[in-house]
Structure 1
């Protein structure tokens, strides 16, 4: 696929140069006509009594016509710029619509074909990755069952931990690829965010390690319940892992905001260096101090949280809270 795109690009390169030369020639022609007409008008106006009375308006009219002609000729560049920005954002479904036989129309067609090829390549990669991950689950399950039969001791524990990391890695990859479809990957249902938080904390965490500060009368929201549980679980796990209990408990809070409902999870740990903060949430990225078998994870937790937030029309924001780190998501009150 990549080779075919590369060949197509080179095949069209010479054609583009020819077409753009034609466009450039038309622009030069407009400027020449403008210069010639302006010279004639100025010459005539200066050699006739009261020539400026008709010469100035006529000069403005000619200049306006030239400006309108040039504006019309380069107007498609705006559509190309909008399309390029959409492709840069990853919106490969965007299509540039121009006259197919114009100088820039053929370039727009090539942009659209390139976007379709890239989308097909990404879909193929996603399908392959999902298939491989699914196939790995069965031998991984068998390996874990066999590991359970190993005699108790440090080797058995290390083996189980490694298998657990592999399981988390496969699960994270599968979920990341599913969420690549964005909002369409969600199974939305009416949900109380406060009830979801309280249920998760009660069933999966030690209440004594967490402080809840939940706003009353939050609106019922359209959320993917399972994905939101995954987001919360990852954020809480990360906060508990780095929290300094002597300074305070991990704090989970909800509040109304202008854009919707703000959910925040804060720990009272050391935080992260300023240069590391923008990298948090990148797939497989872990700060150096977290690269341990027992607590480092696989580096997909915050990445999944970002994808889940994005699919819900929100953004995950990480900041140093001094002390500690705060992860905040502002969810729209309604998701359509």
Structure 2
């Protein structure tokens, strides 16, 4: 069923089927027309010649018919003779006339105006004469028109197949770029904006390819402009924030000072995450790769930042060491744990951290028991500054840059970030890393 559904969605297959149907109808029409034309031509032009020939044989047989003469004629000529008389019946081949197969017309022959019938009997030309109570039938045994029809059919079929082959080749080469365009658009849609369609044609498909490539150029330029703007703003903000922190350090301790320092620290953290994520996205920040055990990284992060938090471990003790940037993977795990603790409904609700491994991938999972995330919003979570809670209250999360940075870190490791969530049940975030990394361990 899947194969037939794919055929139904193929434009080229539909066009080919249309051409095949049209060719079949054309061939049938030609054959039908040729058949009618031939039969009419035989009836109108050839019938008199056959009739005259058979009348000459009738004159040799005579009236009443001479069976010995009839036998001699059938031995010398390609005819069968059937004689029907009131007292006897005789057939040269033993087969008598079945009137159900007669297709004849009455006519008068000879100077005496003998009544006769001429036409076809089982696709053979026949002449029947009626005289003095005798009915003598002369049947030509050769079927020349049948041979002609077979030749016509073969020629028609071969010509139709040749035309269909030419049409198929034309349709195939005309629509072949559609597959390239489809693959290229999918690649661009998946985020590879550097990909361009390698189609150089001077028709509508070439114009379409140029438009898609131009669109990819514009998107790539806009994204690069956005990255450069974020980097520039982040760099420019670091100096005034540093000055403000120095000024704050000189103030007397108070509630306002503590609140201002907290705001400054959050702003500094935001700028650091922005710079880090954009460097990773732009391949400007190399990874400090080394062999490490992910379980050790998780324990270090929990001990440094979440010592008293309700974190539960379900770690695979048989994890192999893999090639990672331990500091950046630790930063990603830290942000995930922080997000999970914030998402939980109660302060003592547990966050479950688990690890698992197979031959190809190693998975780190962080699970909370929060309110969950609607399915249509999951894809937006890794966009910079996106937050489900648009009020942006401090109690409901940060600035919406955490998952953006996490995805940048995982992408730089050639891994995958998977978010699964159910409303009112909670969220599980998986970091999937390759066990055998293609990244050079001495990257600098």
> TM-score interval w.r.t. the shorter chain?
0.7 to 0.9
Say whether the 8 Å CA contact 1:41–1:59 is kept in structure 2. no
| Residue number among 260, 265, 269 corresponding to 1:164 in the alignment | 265
The answer to whether the 8 A contact 2:279-2:285 is kept is no
After TM superposition, the structure 1 = structure 2 runs for residues 257-276 of structure 1, keeping only pairs within 5 Å, are 257=358, 259-268=360-369, 270-274=370-374
Q: Is the 8 A contact 1:281 1:303 kept in 2?
A: yes
Counterpart of 1:310 in structure 2 is 411
Deviation at 1:208, TM superposition (A): 5.9
Deviation at 1:144, TM superposition (A): 1.4
Change (3 A) 1:192 1:158: same
Q: Does 1:179 align with 2:280?
A: yes
* TM superposition outliers: structure 1 runs of 4+ over 6 Å: 34-38
Match of 2:187 in 1: 86
Structure 2 gap segments, 5+ residues each = 1-14, 35-147, 439-444
Distance 2:306 2:355 in 1: 18
Equivalent in the alignment of 1:53: 154
Change (3 A) 1:233 1:36: closer
1:277 deviates by 5.5
CA shift digits 1:76-103 (9 cap, x unpaired): 2222222222222221221221235555
Shift of 1:223: 1.5
**Residues 259 and 121 of structure 1, relative CA distance in 2, 3 Å threshold:** same
Residues 284 and 114 from structure 1, CA distance in 2 versus in 1: closer, same or farther, beyond 3 angstroms? closer
Following superposition, the deviation at residue 253 of structure 1 comes to 1.1
Deviation sequence 1:145-200 (CA, Å, 0-9, x none): 21222333232222222222322222222223223236985443322111111122
Change (3 A) 1:273 1:115: closer
Matched, 1:43 2:30: yes
Q: TM-score, normalised by structure 1?
A: 0.77
* Offset of residue 263 of structure 1: 0.7
1:292 CA drift (Å): 2.5
Match of 2:325 in 1: 224
Which is further off, 212-221 or 303-312? 303-312
Per the alignment, do residues 37 and 256 of structure 1 end up closer, same or farther by CA in structure 2, a change over 3 Å counting?
closer
CA contact (8 A) 2:177 2:205 kept: yes
Q: Secondary structure at the match of 2:430?
A: strand
Structure 2 match to 1:334: 436
Contact 2:343–2:396 (Cα < 8 Å) also in 1: no
Where do 1:84-163 residues align within 5 Å?
84-101=185-202, 104-105=205-206, 107-163=208-264
**Structure showing the higher strand proportion among its residues:** 2
| TM-aligned CA deviation for residue 283 of structure 1 | 2.6
Change (3 A) 1:156 1:204: same
How far did residue 254 of structure 1 move?
A: 0.5
Between the two proteins, the alignment pairs up a number of residues equal to 304
How far off its partner does 1:276 sit?
Answer: 7.3
Structure 2: how far apart are the matches of 1:184 and 1:80?
A: 33
1:251 equivalent in alignment to 2:352: yes
Higher helix fraction (1 or 2):
1
Structure 2 vs 1, CA of residues 267 and 115 (structure 1 numbering), >3 Å: closer, same or farther?
Answer: closer
1:322 to partner: Cα distance: 6.9
Change in Cα spacing, 1:202 to 1:316, as seen in structure 2 (3 Å) is same
